[in-house]
Amino acid sequence: MSTAKTDKTSDTGHPAEQDTRVRLLEAAGEVFAERGFHGVQIRDICALAGANIAAVNYHFKGKEGLYREVLKYAHHCAMAVDELQVAIPPDAPAEQKLGVFVHTFFRSMLSGGRPSWNGKLLAREMIEPSAALDDLVMSEITPKFALLRSIVAEMLGVAIEHPAVRWFGASVISQCLFWEHNKPVIQRLYPDLSYSDEQIRFIADHVVRTCTFAMLGARGKLDEYATWPEGKR
């Protein structure tokens, strides 16, 4: 499991030691995602990583330091916006771009790939934001969301700065995140939902279709979005 990510640690030249660090990150990511920061003890992480009990303090100066690094590491490994941009055909119709975006998003989020705990970790940050969330938003989320906004703007036939864009962007994203963030309840409501690849594709198709209908229907009726009530609270 520690084959693909020595690219950033190769400079020191101590592969065996670096392995410990990376193994620690992998193990910590998994259990932090599963049980949360407070629900995990470093003994378990070290045992899972096959490392010494003092390794966490040695490498990360404590549990919190480890958590911060795990968050960074997770999003370093996550689907980069570049890959997303590459996958999207630049001169295809906007509907098709949206399709690629949504399908890619779903796949990277729900298909149990390498950083399968990324989603859960982020979901935890939503509920209990740590100091690391700011970095995450800046480096990972903002560029992806900018890409989505450009697609949405194209579909709505307006400029990317149009106020409507943010709301329809939210409509797209919300329907994607829903299936990951609410898995436990969804699976209780729909026992036949197993998150197989076919089912994920089916869901993604539905989201694309829904958003397309919504945005096509809204074209030309976007005046309502001009008046946004400034938050005064």
Partner DNA sequence: TATGAATGAGGGTTCATTCAT
Partner DNA sequence: CATGAATGAACCCTCATTCAT
d(CA 195, CA 205) in angstroms, rounded, equals 14
Rule CB under 7 A: say whether 42 interacts with DNA: yes
21 binds, among DNA, its own copies, none (CB under 5 to 8 A by kind): DNA
Rule CB under 7 A: say whether 15 interacts with DNA: no
Rule CB under 8 A: say whether 145 interacts with its own copies: yes
- The DSSP secondary-structure symbol of 66 reads H
Rule CB under 7 A: say whether 57 interacts with DNA: yes
Rule CB under 7 A: say whether 35 interacts with DNA: no
d(CA 74, CA 29) in angstroms, rounded, equals 7
Between residue 55 and residue 114, which ones bind its own copies under the rule CB under 8 A?
none
Rule CB under 8 A: say whether 205 interacts with its own copies: yes
Rule CB under 8 A: say whether 185 interacts with its own copies: yes
Rule CB under 7 A: say whether 175 interacts with DNA: no
Q: How many CB atoms lie within 10 A of CB 64?
A: 13
Residue closest to 30 by CA, chosen among 17, 16, 49, 11:
49
Rule CB under 8 A: say whether 166 interacts with its own copies: yes
Q: Which is nearer to DNA, 42 or 136 (CB)?
A: 42
Under rule CB under 7 A, how many of the chain's residues touch DNA? Answer: 24
d(CA 59, CA 115) in angstroms, rounded, equals 21
Residue closest to 35 by CA, chosen among 108, 117, 131, 126:
117
- Cα 29 → chain centroid: 14
Q: How far is CA 123 from CA 89, 99, 167, in A?
A: 30, 24, 21
CB of 128 to its own copies, least distance (A): 6
Query: Can you give the binding site for DNA, defined by CB under 7 A?
Result: 8, 14, 16-17, 19-21, 40-43, 51-59, 61-64
